[in-house]
Amino acid sequence: MKYFKLAFCLLCVLVFGCKNDHTADTPELQEETTTTFSSLNSLDWLIGEWVNETEEEFSKESWKRLNDSTLTGFSYTKVAQDTVFAETLKLQQIEQKVNLEVVAFGQNNDAPVNFTLVSGNRGTYTFENLAHDFPQRIIYTQPTPDVIHAWIEGEVDGVLKKIDFHFNRKK
């Protein structure tokens, strides 16, 4: 009888003491994981290859997902087979803040310039760095599913300057 009581007590400790925690499977945790990077996820439409080709020049911008908090990109423009512009891009969400890091080769001593997402309303994503000489803003929009309209803008000598970029999804 003594062994029965001891065995029963051990069984109770094991059954009630070893709680099976299924919090990893709860919808709340799954939702939290999904929404943790929701600001960055709203830019997933950038993923892919985008081109703009005219008689004078060819431009390409490519985006891919590096991990759950980062998209990386590369953009270049060629004129008559010469690359006249190239840059690397990194969109990264840290906590609730989304940053766009741009390294334009041959500019700013090839140092990264960071822009912060300040607006993502109605499909227009505005990244801003008012301390940068030009541009101070980089804006991305998707007017139709296979089109990007982006532009850079800012003040140069007190005058607003804007440069537009139009890309079509490469198929």
pLDDT tens profile 27-39: 554 444 444 678 8
Does the structure show a pLDDT above 60 at 62? yes
Query: Which of the 8 DSSP states describes residue 154?
Result: E
Residue range 99-113, pLDDT digits in tens:
999 999 999 999 999
Please tell me the predicted confidence (pLDDT) of residue 113. Answer: 98
pLDDT category of residue 121 using cuts at 50, 70 and 90: confident
* Percentage of the chain exceeding pLDDT 90: 74
Does the structure show a pLDDT above 60 at 10? no
SS3 (DSSP) at 35 = helix
Element (H, E) at 51: strand 48-53
Query: At the topology level of CATH, where does 38-169 sit?
Result: Lipocalin (2.40.128)
Please tell me the predicted confidence (pLDDT) of residue 112. Answer: 98
SS3 (DSSP) at 89 = strand
| Closest to 44 (Cα-Cα) out of 115, 123, 121 | 123
Residue bearing tokens 């990007």 = 148
